[in-house]
Every structure is written in C-alpha cells, then in structure tokens.
C-alpha cells in the first residue's frame, strides 16, 4: 500500500515542472486509486489503466510525461509494457517507474534492460515516490532542454547552410569573373609563343597573370600575388588588373606616350614605384602584393625586368640550362620608402622565360617539405621537351603528384614565354 500520502506532502505543486501528466498502470483498482489520489492532490494530471494493453491504447491520445506501472500484471506484464511503451512513435521521452516487490540485482537488470528508468518497492513510501518523481522531472527537464538546444542548433545550421549555399553560388560566379580577367591563355606572335596559367586554391584567389601590348614590337608581362586569400585578395587583383589593362592602353599605368604620340613602355622600376604610392595613398587596404613586371622586345629578345618580392623568373636556355638571377626588392604596398630597381636579360632563339608564383616552390609534399628552387629546376628539366600550354598543365600534374594528390595550399599561377618559336 501507499503509506501516508494524504498528510505527508501537503500542497505540492508541479506547475512549471517537466512532469505534468502521469499514467498509473496496475491491475489492482485499489492500488491505482491510492496512487492516483495522492498524485492528484499533488497537482498532477493523472490517467489510469488496468493493464498494459489498455495503457498502450491510452497512450495514443494521452502522452504521459511519467509512467508508474506495476511489474506483475496478467496478460502484458510491466516489462512487456515498458518495452512496448519505448517503441511508441513519439518525440517526447517518458520517464518510467516500475513498482515491484523484486529486489534481486538480476531482476533490476532485467527492468533496466526493458527500458525502465527507476524502481519503487511495495508498499510505496510517499516521500520516496515524491523523490523519484523529482528525479524523473530533472531528467525530463535536461532531455527537453537538450532537445530545445538541438532544435535551435539544427535551425541555425539550416540557416547557415542556406547562407553558405548562397555564398557558394556567389563565389562560383566570382571565380568565373576572376578567371575572365585572363582572357587569352595562349597567344602567338611573329616569332614567339605565350602561355598563361591561373589556378586558385579556393574559389577565388590573390594571383593574377596577364600581358599587354607595350608599343611597337614590345610586349608587357605581369605576375601578381596579393597577400592573403579569398574575396578581399581577389577584389584587389581585379583592381590591379585595371591598372595594367591591355584593352585600354591609355589607362595602363605601365604605358606612356612617346614621340609622335606612340604608346611606349615605362621603365619597370618607375611603374612599381608609382603602384607603391598608389596603393599606400589611395587604397584603403591592408593588402600588399608581389609583382614581376617584364617588358620584352620581340625583335631582339631583350627583357627589362622589375621584381618586387616575386619569385625569380626562370630562363631555360635552348641548351636546357636553367638560370635564376636578378635582385628581389620589397613587395608593393608594404613600405612607403621602398625603392625598386630593374635589370635586363637577353633571350636568344629557342630560350624560354618562365614566371611562377610562390605557390609552386612553396608547395609541400605529404611530409611537409617544400618543393623549393632546386626541386623546381629538376621538374622543369624533366619537362624540357614539352612546349606551350602543355608544359604548364604538365607542371601542375607533376606538382600535384609531389603534393601527394592533395589540394594546393596556395594559388598557382604561371607565364611561359617561348622566344624564337613559330606556332604550328
């Protein structure tokens, strides 16, 4: 029997608790009434069932927060009912207390295995029952709080996924626009061929390569690597592309007007100095960039080179010999007092000039070792017989193999100028 319910806990109020509805299941009408009466006095909404089958049917319309069920019942006993109760389709957890006279450990284990949360032995003590209900209330509170937080997380993740999908679509379009800045990936001249490569490590990147006519029988080449990655770096490259435009020579900062109104190339050191002042004084940005600027005389093969922190240009002679020379200098947009210089090199028939970003030499293998200049030279020597765009694609494939098939951690860009060749 239930001991001293009517006087032991007066005026208990479950308002605001997780346990509101309680289902009492017992084949004894008297036992049900005793337990139910006390629960109602404590303010709970109580439903009764005289068997496990009746309780299951009742649960279709009455979803209890807590179940108090006798173990020993004819037909479906408490264990069977508990298993069936746990299999009901619902998104709410119900706390389950078994009333039993069994105290052996193996019997308790059977009850836990069936899905019971707690046990009370008969006759039930009112203080103990109230304590068990309080324990169940704490469990349900935590379960529902966790479910609420999970729902909030799920909703937030859904919103973030929607935002990510929108950003991803925008970045795909941004990548198309950035790639369109390199309009011609292959260009032939009277006795030379030019090939360009631009591979971003993400959707968009900070590398840019290009060329522009630099006066009669002269060609300008530029390779830019803006600090950082992502959208802001890509926007910077887009702006710089406008300053070195091939479509609008009058707006190209690397070109000037010579005798007779003809377009001529400005000295590369002067161009880098002007760009440095422009970035520091007129652009509100923390980005800086490395730059290699080359003006080529297509007739003589003389190349004027300005290098601002960019990797050495590589000259591969017709004999296969590789040369990497010339002063480095500071990146553009880093120091207002930076000074820039230029130097010349001479290409002969069959020589080629290769300008690469540091994403090539600093590409790591799976052990973390960078390719380096020596590794690059060996790679180029192995590809000595490969020409034009095929060389740049082969370079990417070889670099991918060196990286162990992993994505490059930095953008990869390249310019290949082959002098004294005729396109077939």
* Helical segments of 24-97, H only: 29-41, 52-58, 78-86
Q: Could you confirm whether domain 181-419 is CATH 3.60.40.10?
A: yes
Q: What's the pLDDT tens digit per position in 172-182? A: 676 667 666 67
Q: Quote the longest CA-to-CA distance of the chain.
A: 117
* DSSP helix/strand/coil, 132: helix
In 3D space, the residue among 302, 281, 306, 282 whose CA is nearest the CA of residue 224 turns out to be 306
Higher pLDDT, 171 or 416: 416
Measured CA to CA, the distance from residue 218 to residue 303 in angstroms comes to 10
Domain locations in the chain as residue ranges:
5-148, 181-419
Measured CA to CA, the distance from residue 75 to residue 81 in angstroms comes to 10
Measured CA to CA, the distance from residue 130 to residue 12 in angstroms comes to 9
Proportion of the chain above pLDDT 90, given as a percent: 58
CB-count exposure of residue 133 (10 Å: 0-12, 13-18, 19+)? buried
In 3D space, the residue among 242, 244, 294 whose CA is nearest the CA of residue 268 turns out to be 294
Q: What's the pLDDT tens digit per position in 136-158? A: 999 999 988 888 898 899 889 88
Measured CA to CA, the distance from residue 112 to residue 109 in angstroms comes to 5
309 φ/ψ sector (left φ>0, alpha ψ -120 to 50, else beta) = left
Structure tokens at 78: 């408490």
Measured CA to CA, the distance from residue 341 to residue 267 in angstroms comes to 9
Using 50, 70 and 90 to split pLDDT, how confident is the model at 248? confident
Query: Quick check: 322 pLDDT over 90?
Result: yes
Q: What's the pLDDT tens digit per position in 175-225? A: 667 666 677 789 999 889 999 998 887 776 788 899 999 988 999 999 999
User: Domain 5-148 belongs to what topology?
Assistant: Rossmann fold (3.40.50)
Measured CA to CA, the distance from residue 23 to residue 380 in angstroms comes to 80
Using 50, 70 and 90 to split pLDDT, how confident is the model at 229? confident
Beta partners for residue 344, in sequence order: 304
Label the pairing between strands 314-316 and 118-121. Answer: unpaired
Structure tokens at 259: 């005798």
Query: Quick check: 379 pLDDT over 50?
Result: yes
DSSP-assigned letter for residue 300: T
* CA distance between the termini of the chain: 104
Per DSSP (E only), the strands in 214-338 are 218-226, 255-257, 263-265, 289-297, 302-308, 314-316, 322-323
Residue range 246-274: mean pLDDT, rounded? 88
Residues contacting 364, CB < 8 A, separation 6+ = 370, 371, 403, 409
């Amino acid at each position: 029997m239930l001991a001293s319910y009517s006087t032991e806990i007066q005026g208990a109020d479950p308002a605001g608790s997780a346990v509101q509805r309680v289902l009492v299941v017992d084949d004894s009408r008297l036992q049900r009434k005793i337990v139910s009466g006390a629960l109602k006095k404590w303010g709970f909404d109580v439903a009764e069932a005289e068997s496990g089958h009746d309780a299951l049917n009742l649960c279709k319309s009455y979803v209890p927060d807590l179940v108090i069920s006798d173990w020993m019942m004819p037909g479906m006993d408490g264990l069977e009912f508990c298993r069936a109760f746990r299999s009901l389709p619902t998104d709410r957890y119900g706390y389950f207390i078994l009333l039993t006279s069994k105290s052996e450990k193996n019997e308790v284990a059977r009850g836990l295995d069936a899905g019971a949360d707690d046990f009370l032995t008969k006759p039930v003590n009112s203080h103990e029952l109230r304590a068990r209900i309080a324990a169940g209330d704490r469990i349900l509170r935590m379960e529902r709080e966790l479910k609420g937080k999970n729902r909030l997380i799920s909703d937030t993740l859904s919103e973030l996924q929607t935002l990510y999908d929108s950003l991803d679509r925008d970045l795909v379009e941004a990548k198309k626009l950035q790639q369109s800045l390199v309009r011609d990936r292959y260009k032939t001249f009277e006795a030379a061929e030019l090939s360009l490569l631009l591979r971003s490590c993400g959707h968009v990147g900070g590398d840019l390569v290009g060329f522009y006519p630099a006066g009669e029988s002269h060609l300008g080449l530029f390779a830019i690597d803006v600090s950082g990655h992502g959208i802001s770096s890509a926007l910077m490259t887009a702006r710089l592309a406008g300053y070195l435009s091939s479509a609008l020579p009058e707006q190209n900062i690397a070109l000037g007007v010579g005798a007779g109104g003809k377009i001529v190339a400005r000295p590369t050191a002067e161009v880098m100095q002007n760009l440095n002042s422009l970035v520091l004084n007129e652009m509100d940005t923390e980005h800086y960039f490395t730059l290699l600027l080359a003006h080529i005389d297509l007739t003589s093969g003389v190349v004027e080179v300005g290098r601002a922190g960019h990797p050495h240009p590589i000259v591969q002679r017709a004999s296969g010999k590789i040369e990497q020379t010339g002063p480095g200098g500071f990146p553009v947009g880093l120091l207002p007092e930076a000074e820039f210089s230029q130097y010349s090199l001479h290409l002969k028939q069959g020589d080629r000039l290769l300008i690469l970003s540091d994403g090539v030499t600093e590409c790591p293998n799976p052990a973390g070792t960078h390719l380096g200049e020596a590794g690059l030279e060996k790679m180029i020597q192995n590809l000595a017989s490969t020409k034009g765009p095929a060389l740049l694609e082969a370079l990417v494939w070889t670099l991918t193999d060196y990286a162990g098939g992993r994505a490059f951690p930095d953008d990869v860009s390249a310019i290949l100028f082959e002098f004294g060749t005729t396109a077939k």
